[in-house]
Amino acid sequence: MKMAKLRLLLWISLALGSTGSSSVDGHTEGAAKLESYNVDAGETSVSGLSSGAFMAVQFHVSFSSTLKGAGITAGGPFYCAEGLISIAVSSCAVTPALIPVAQLVLLTKSDAAYGFIDSTSYLENSRVFLISGAKDTVVVQGVMEKLDEYYSTFVKSENIARNFSIPAGHGQLSNVYGSKCGTATVSSPYIINCDYPSGFVMLQHIYSDITYADDNAMIPENLLEFNQSEFFAGFPGLVSMDTTGYVYVPTQCQKGSACRLHIAFHGCRQGRGTIGDVFAVHAGYNGVAEMNNIIVLYPQVVKSTLTNPYGCWDWWGYTGPFYESYNVVAGETSVSGFSSGAFMAVQFHVSFSSIVKGAGITAGGPFYCADGYFSLAITRCTFSPIFIPVDYLMALTETYATSGLIDPTSNLESSRVFLISGTKDIVVVPGVMTKLEEYYSNYVKSENIEINFSIPAGHGQLSNMYGSNCGTSIVTAPYIINCDYPSGFVMLQHIYGDITYADDNAMIPENLLEFDQSQFFSGFPGLVSMDTIGYVYVPTQCQNGAACRLHIAFHGCLQGRGMVGDVFAVHGGYNGVAEINNIIVLYPQVASNILINPYGCWDWWGYTGPLYGVKEGLQMAGVKRMLDRIAQS
Ligand SMILES: *[C@@H]1O[C@H](CO)[C@@H](O)[C@H](O)[C@H]1NC(C)=O
Ligand SMILES: *[C@@H]1O[C@H](CO)[C@@H](O)[C@H](O)[C@H]1NC(C)=O
Ligand SMILES: *[C@@H]1O[C@H](CO)[C@@H](O)[C@H](O)[C@H]1NC(C)=O
């Protein structure tokens, strides 16, 4: 389990900045670029309500070397949800007796040991204020008690203060604005007037020299909008972030005075898209901030229909359990695939030949074999290969390369290709693979192409450990055949040349991770027949920062997660070799779609549109984004 350390770090580094301020960018419409101010190092703190409270805890624990303290209203311990929405809405909200604090403390220490979060020793001198309304039925007091217990293992007890006695429901506590105190019923915008200036109380506890001021001390013009896009690689929506955030910058801070920085995380249904700037204006920070020279950053989440309909901060994993990028060696990425995954692997290899070093193909055919027609896919590209027009497909390849839809084919010359076809395959007959060999031979140096078309296998991924009987044409789900042939090793060895053999037993089960694919498909993977979840195998050394290679393995039809769970990802024959040789294996997952793709095949005939097989193909580009994420440094 890892935190979004790199991405979150962007926030803080940009926001902390150093002295000096550029002028507001007057050339763009909409929100301006976030400026830098003269921020005191070591004087930054966070707070949050509800999902923002869980976020504030995550942020505090992850960046404890940078943060001085945290104010938490209605939240719970670090990784309370353990990556699952089901736990988020049960244990971490209403059944706190089930929160395993000791285990979460261990997880925290292990994350710190791996370097995913800062050393927990920084927390000792941190200052923490905990607020829980006595009438809160959404995140009940027991959850905050567990948080208290969690923090107490790291933070000196005299540094933790709490108020659990205010008769408030679930909301941000104010002394100026909001709904009635004393009732469990709270509605939007979830700010409650309990005559309790929680912003002041938290900041005073964290900094201890704060002068009281109420919201009226706020100067409305000092609340600025800023452009959040630049902090999310231009695509904030992919991780459910709004394009625009708010920041309150006191007059003195705008003039260059040394100021503190506080980050306030709103709760679910409290983002800009839902209530505008109400949280940023009325949460109770800006008046105190104006008087005490504290810049208050209000980053804004946006709703995402499928993954995050209420606009909550991610504290259960809708942006994926791993956000970590790894130390991936450039130029050492390869692909392989079986059946529809084989056609996909060929497409991916030919389209992205500038970055894909080699391909292992089991039971597939040439680039654009189906030429956009399902009828051709299931005829010439499966059992009547004599009709595959290799010359035409090569001409098409050149046209696409010339127009930039795919990388120049000259990259393929030094690529390495391994082709496997079972002699008893009656689904994609060996003749289709022969056509693929003919196709590749036009581009790839002949000594770089190796084939094995002599194993008496039917239609399946070949293994030496797992699967159905070799020697027969009859193969059923999960389409893995034990032919005493370690195809994963054989392909990787041919592509890389220096691979040490290991069998599937060398796999470490915990290193096979699930991740959220939605973020790579604009939040709607189902629209392009992709699953919400994918798998990635990350060898221990790669998790520890070793330089690693990256391989993408595309499953066949009827082999995705919705059909066989993780069987292909576990038994496809890659992970043991990967563990021993430091290769990260990405297993993107297709989902079946009753109308366009009932068997859950990769798109190699056009159900996502005519550009299905080139760089901007909807599945192709999504997988490329996954690859970029894993490899980004
Ligand atoms: C909580 O705040 C209320 C209102 O300010 C105060 O009366 C009460 O003493 C506080 N409780 C604790 C435990 O600090
Ligand atoms: C916000 O930033 C992004 C990425 O830096 C940029 O492409 C976009 O034009 C900016 N938007 C505005 C309104 O300035
Ligand atoms: C294919 O693999 C089998 C099993 O390892 C081996 O006996 C055979 O020689 C290989 N054929 C080729 C052409 O490499």
Q: Name the closest-CA residue to atom 12, ligand 3.
A: 452
**C-alpha distances out from residue 586 to 114, 397, 492, 537, Å:** 21, 26, 14, 6
Percent of the chain with pLDDT over 90: 80
Yes or no: say if 492 and 577 are a contact pair by the CB < 8 Å rule. yes
Residue 454 C-alpha to ligand 3 middle, in angstroms? Answer: 6
How high is the pLDDT of residue 320? 67
Q: Looking at the CA of residue 243, tell me the nearest atom of ligand 2.
A: 1
Burial of 608 (C-beta count, 10 Å sphere; 0-12/13-18/19+): buried
Q: Looking at the CA of residue 483, tell me the nearest atom of ligand 3.
A: 4
In this predicted structure, the answer to whether residue 322 has a pLDDT above a threshold of 80 is: no
Rounded distance, CA 604 to CA 620, Å?
10
**Segment of 30-34, 46-50, 233-237 carrying the highest mean pLDDT:** 46-50
- Token readout for 335 is 């692909």
- Match 């050149």 to its residue by tokens: 398
| 535-571 confidence digits (pLDDT tens) | 999 999 998 888 999 999 999 999 999 999 999 999 9
450: β partners = 418
Any ligand 3 atom below 6 A from CB of 152: no
450 contact partners, CB below 8 Å, separation of at least 6: 417, 418, 419, 494
Report the catalytic residues: 339, 425, 459
Cα 451 to chain centroid distance, Å, stands at 36
Rounded distance, CA 138 to CA 120, Å?
29
Rounded distance, CA 132 to CA 75, Å?
8
Residue 176 C-alpha to ligand 1 middle, in angstroms? Answer: 17
Q: Are strands 172-174 and 191-193 parallel, antiparallel or unpaired?
A: parallel
User: Mean pLDDT, to the nearest integer, of 460-472?
Assistant: 97
Other beta carbons within 10 Å of 209: 7
Rounded distance, CA 426 to CA 411, Å?
33
Residue 165 C-alpha to ligand 1 middle, in angstroms? Answer: 6
Any ligand 2 atom below 6 A from CB of 509: no
Mutual angle of helices 5-16 and 51-62, in 10-degree steps: 80
Three-state DSSP state, 203: helix
Rounded distance, CA 57 to CA 467, Å?
46
How high is the pLDDT of residue 27? 36
Q: Of 34-48, 128-142, 198-212, which gets the smallest average pLDDT?
A: 34-48
Yes or no: say if 46 and 56 are a contact pair by the CB < 8 Å rule. yes
Any ligand 2 atom below 6 A from CB of 543: no
Three-state SS sequence of 259-301: EEEEEEECCCCCCHHHHCCHHHHHCCCHHHHHHHCEEEEECCE
> What band does 450 get if pLDDT is binned at 50, 70 and 90?
very high
Among 166, 192, 200, 212, residue to substitute to test ligand 1 (most atoms within 8 Å of Cβ): 166
Burial of 305 (C-beta count, 10 Å sphere; 0-12/13-18/19+): exposed
User: Mean pLDDT, to the nearest integer, of 364-370?
Assistant: 98
114 contact partners, CB below 8 Å, separation of at least 6: 2, 543, 544
Residue 240 C-alpha to ligand 2 middle, in angstroms? Answer: 17
In the DSSP assignment, the letter for residue 32 is: B
How high is the pLDDT of residue 523? 67
Yes or no: say if 587 and 512 are a contact pair by the CB < 8 Å rule. no
Residue 455 C-alpha to ligand 3 middle, in angstroms? Answer: 7
Any ligand 3 atom below 6 A from CB of 455: yes
Q: What are phi and psi of 67, to 5 degrees?
A: -105, 140
Among 148, 165, 204, 205, residue to substitute to test ligand 1 (most atoms within 8 Å of Cβ): 165
How high is the pLDDT of residue 18? 33
104 contact partners, CB below 8 Å, separation of at least 6: 77, 78, 79, 80, 150
How high is the pLDDT of residue 330? 87
| 231-261 confidence digits (pLDDT tens) | 987 889 888 999 999 999 999 999 999 999 9
Q: Name the closest-CA residue to atom 11, ligand 2.
A: 227
In the DSSP assignment, the letter for residue 177 is: S
- Token readout for 417 is 């290709």
Any ligand 3 atom below 6 A from CB of 327: no
- Match 């060996």 to its residue by tokens: 430
Yes or no: say if 170 and 74 are a contact pair by the CB < 8 Å rule. yes
The ligand placed nearest to the CA atom of residue 133 is 1
Residue 162 C-alpha to ligand 1 middle, in angstroms? Answer: 9
The ligand placed nearest to the CA atom of residue 453 is 3
Yes or no: say if 539 and 511 are a contact pair by the CB < 8 Å rule. yes
Handedness of CA 73, 78, 84, 90 (dihedral sign): negative
Rounded distance, CA 353 to CA 443, Å?
11
Residue 353 C-alpha to ligand 2 middle, in angstroms? Answer: 31
| 575-600 confidence digits (pLDDT tens) | 999 999 999 999 999 999 988 999 99
- Token readout for 445 is 């140096």
Handedness of CA 134, 135, 137, 139 (dihedral sign): negative
Query: To the nearest whole number, what is the mean pLDDT of the chain?
Result: 92
Rounded distance, CA 112 to CA 65, Å?
12
Q: Name the closest-CA residue to atom 3, ligand 3.
A: 455
Rounded distance, CA 255 to CA 388, Å?
71
Residue 511 C-alpha to ligand 1 middle, in angstroms? Answer: 47
Q: Looking at the CA of residue 32, tell me the nearest atom of ligand 2.
A: 14
Yes or no: say if 15 and 297 are a contact pair by the CB < 8 Å rule. yes
In this predicted structure, the answer to whether residue 2 has a pLDDT above a threshold of 60 is: no
The ligand placed nearest to the CA atom of residue 233 is 2
Cis peptide before 478 (omega within 30 of 0): yes
Any ligand 2 atom below 6 A from CB of 24: no
Percent of the chain with pLDDT over 70: 93
> What band does 306 get if pLDDT is binned at 50, 70 and 90?
confident
> What band does 114 get if pLDDT is binned at 50, 70 and 90?
low
In this predicted structure, the answer to whether residue 378 has a pLDDT above a threshold of 90 is: yes
| 403-449 confidence digits (pLDDT tens) | 999 999 999 999 999 999 999 999 999 999 999 999 999 999 999 99
Any ligand 2 atom below 6 A from CB of 510: no
> What band does 325 get if pLDDT is binned at 50, 70 and 90?
low
The ligand placed nearest to the CA atom of residue 175 is 1
In the DSSP assignment, the letter for residue 237 is: G
